[in-house]
Amino acid sequence: MSAPVQPAVWFPTVRSGTGTLVFTERLVAGVRKRGIRAEITWLPLRAEYAPWAVRVAKPPEWATVAHVNTWLHPRFLPVGLPVVATLHHSIHHRDLKPYKGRLRGLYHRLWIRSVERRTLRRASAVTAVSHFVADTARHTLLDCPMRVIYNGVDTERFRPPARRSSHKPFRLLYVGSWISRKGVDLLAPIMRELGEGFELYYTGGPAAERSKKGMPPNMHDISRLRGDGAVIAAMQDADAFLFPSRSEGLPLVVIEAMACGMPAITTRGSSLVEVVEGGVGGVLCRRDDVLAFAKAARDVAGNTALYEQLRYQARTIACSKFSEDAMIDDYVKCYIECSNGASN
Shared domain for 96 and 195, answered yes or no, is no
Shared domain for 311 and 331, answered yes or no, is no
How many angstroms separate the CA atoms of 167 and 185, rounded?
25
Residue 334 domain flag: yes
| Mean pLDDT on 230-244 | 97
Residue 52 domain flag: yes
Query: Domain residues for 308?
Result: 170-321
Shared domain for 280 and 270, answered yes or no, is yes
Residues 6+ apart with CB under 8 A from 115: 70, 71, 72, 73, 74
How many angstroms separate the CA atoms of 285 and 86, rounded?
30
How many angstroms separate the CA atoms of 178 and 180, rounded?
7
Shared domain for 194 and 132, answered yes or no, is no
How many angstroms separate the CA atoms of 126 and 143, rounded?
11
How many angstroms separate the CA atoms of 325 and 232, rounded?
19
Residue 157 domain flag: no
Q: What is the dihedral of CA 207, 236, 22, 85, to 10 degrees?
A: -110
Shared domain for 134 and 246, answered yes or no, is no
Q: What is the CATH number of the domain that holds 47?
A: 3.40.50.2000
Closest CA to 28 of 20, 16, 38, 43: 38
285 forms bridges with which residues in the sheet? 267
Model pTM score: 0.94
Shared domain for 175 and 282, answered yes or no, is yes
68 contacts 119 by C-beta, under 8 angstroms: yes
Report phi then psi at 106, rounded to 5: -65, -40
Q: Would you state the pLDDT for residue 2?
A: 63
| Mean pLDDT on 2-30 | 89
Residue 188 domain flag: yes
Residue 158 domain flag: no
Read off the DSSP letter of residue 109: I
Shared domain for 274 and 224, answered yes or no, is yes
89 contacts 18 by C-beta, under 8 angstroms: no
How many angstroms separate the CA atoms of 204 and 211, rounded?
9
**How far is residue 112 CA from its own chain's centroid?**
19
Shared domain for 317 and 328, answered yes or no, is no
More confident residue, 34 or 164: 34
More confident residue, 183 or 163: 183
Closest CA to 285 of 297, 277, 276, 293: 293
Inform me whether the pLDDT recorded for 233 exceeds 60: yes
Q: What is the DSSP string of 158-210?
A: S---SSPPP-SSEEEEE-S-SSGGGTGGGHHHHHHHHGGGEEEEE--GGGGGG
Q: Would you state the pLDDT for residue 19?
A: 82
CA angle 288, 290, 296 (to 5 degrees): 110
Shared domain for 178 and 313, answered yes or no, is yes
Residue 224 domain flag: yes
Q: Would you state the pLDDT for residue 213?
A: 92
Confidence tier at 163 by pLDDT (50, 70, 90): confident
CA angle 327, 333, 337 (to 5 degrees): 145
Q: Would you state the pLDDT for residue 342?
A: 58
Mean model confidence pLDDT for the chain: 95
User: What percent of the chain is predicted at pLDDT more than 70?
Assistant: 98
Shared domain for 328 and 314, answered yes or no, is no
| Mean pLDDT on 61-83 | 96
How many angstroms separate the CA atoms of 107 and 91, rounded?
11
Shared domain for 175 and 310, answered yes or no, is yes
Residue 2 domain flag: no
Residue 165 domain flag: no
Q: Would you state the pLDDT for residue 344?
A: 41
Shared domain for 123 and 251, answered yes or no, is no
Q: In 3-state terms, what secondary structure has residue 59?
A: coil
Closest CA to 160 of 314, 301, 321, 320: 314
Q: Tell me: the pLDDT tens digits for 260-297?
A: 999 999 999 999 999 998 889 999 999 999 999 999 99
Q: How many domains does the chain have?
A: 2
Inform me whether the pLDDT recorded for 240 exceeds 60: yes
Q: In 3-state terms, what secondary structure has residue 219?
A: strand
Confidence tier at 166 by pLDDT (50, 70, 90): confident
| Mean pLDDT on 57-68 | 96
